Amino acid sequence: MEKLKKEFLDMLVKKGALRIASGTDDFFVFKSGRRSPNFINIGALTDGESLSALKKAYATLIYNLLKEKKIQDFDFIFGPAYKGINMACLACEGLYEIGINKRYMYDRKEEKNYADKQMDQLIVGSGYFKQGQKILLIDDVITTGGTKLDALDKLKVLGDHKVIGLVLALDRQEKMGDVVNVEGKSAVENIEALGIPCFSILDMQDIFSLVKDSIPGDIKKYWIEYYDKYGVVKLHD
């Protein structure tokens, strides 16, 4: 996994998915109003090389989690619309290439009221679902966790099911809230409190440890200060 993390980070840098501000005027403003010296946009990975790297990273992580019994075996991978749909597809294909065949599902933003409603009225692919089956949730980045909580709520339409885990490309390891109201827990901690274990290819500690020697001292200082204020982890030079 350490080699995989390095390869994945190299891809993020190469494709411009990892953005590091050159100064305070270039900080990235999140929906919460927080101004961050870094930004990770998995949506920037749109070419074949990037998708191949994403597929390998997700499949390797999930395979290892199953092998090490950190997650239960599952029947479906669920990707929340919109970015999670691609992640679910890639993960299923990557797992199939190493001998594990799983189906995927995703949600509609608006309910379908025509044609084959049984198969995909609200959850596309749910026509294959059987009561009591297990689901692995997948997505790209977690900050506040709102999309994931919405997904858990939408899955209730399936009836009897169990979400056995959440797999991410990146955990930002930030406390929930906004600029002024900073909560005590991160989005991951909030979801794990529901009994759903969370795992990521990379987290912010991984990224910082791998890039800190190559960024200017003042930007490194801003990065550390940001996590002193908003992080559930501390970053160390």
- Domain 2-230 annotated CATH 3.40.50.2020: yes
Write out pLDDT tens, residues 50-102: 999 999 999 999 999 999 999 999 999 999 988 899 999 999 999 999 999 99
> Residue ranges per domain, the chain?
2-230
SS (H, E, C) the chain: CHHHHHHHHHHHHHCCCEEECCCHHHCEECCCCCEECEEECHHHCCCHHHHHHHHHHHHHHHHHHHHCCCCCCCCEEEECCCHHHHHHHHHHHHHHHCCCCCEEEEECCCCCCCCCHHHHCCEECHHHCCCCEEEEEEEEEECCCHHHHHHHHHHHHHCCEEEEEEEEEEECCEEEECCCCEEEEEHHHHHHCCCCCEEEEEEHHHHHHHHHHHCCHHHHHHHHHHHHHHECCCCCC
- 0.75 cut: is pTM over it? yes
201-211 pLDDT tens trace: 999 999 999 99
Confidence of residue 114 (pLDDT cuts 50, 70, 90): very low
